Amino acid sequence: MNKEDIGIIMVIATLVIPLAYVAYLCTAGQLAFGSYEVVSELGKNPIIFLVDVILFLLGTTLIITSIEEDKAAKFIGYLYIIPVFNVVVAAVYSIGAAGFPSGLGVFIDAMFISMYNFIVLLSLFLIDLRSKGIGMEVFKKERGTLILIAEFLVYLVLRIQMGPSFPLMAFFMALAIATSFIFYSNFNNNNK
């Protein structure tokens, strides 16, 4: 078995492990298969989250480093299907099991599903950029924008988790203003 095969097994395991865990809980009588608690249990289980993230990152790294560049770009394109599949299945299952408004709430409340798929998309995006020859110089030029985007995403996650909070909003607005000042205050001077 070579590195590519091990990597493919690791990536497939990211789909199999959650399904096996749900099957175990359902057969043990801890969950009913058709209930919304299936998504809630998967989306709030930090062990499943960490195992899936580690397996995905290691698996894609093994695959990308063991195949030719032209095959790597094609393979990355196929891997983009995984987060889309995960989000669609979890959302449809939640809404189907609990109804529209409350099922959507169950899906949003299952934070690890969103975080896992965001990490998968981000890692695929970075690997894709690297395979196209776009290196870190792009990130150095655009680091202010990337930091602002990261701050906004952290704010969204905390806002969803904690609910409306004026101190949270005020803190992140101050942070965004400070970031803008640090990275863009010399913008006009550098362009002259």
Give the residue-averaged pLDDT of 53-80: 80
Question: What share of the chain has pLDDT > 70, as a percent?
Answer: 81
Is the model's pLDDT at 4 over the cut of 60?
yes
C-alpha–C-alpha distance, residues 14 and 3, integer Å? 17
131-183 pLDDT per residue, tens:
666 555 555 566 677 777 777 777 776 776 666 677 777 787 888 788 777 77
Helix (H, G, I), strand (E, B) or coil at 116: helix
| 88-109 mean pLDDT | 77
> pLDDT band at residue 188, thresholds of 50, 70 and 90?
very low
Beta-carbon contacts of 69 under 8 Å, excluding residues fewer than 6 positions away, are 131
55 class by beta-carbon count within 10 Å (0-12 exposed, 13-18 middle, 19+ buried) = buried
Q: What is the pTM of this model?
A: 0.63
For residues 9 and 142, what is the distance between their CA atoms, to the nearest angstrom?
36
Phi and psi at residue 142, to the nearest 5°: -105, 20
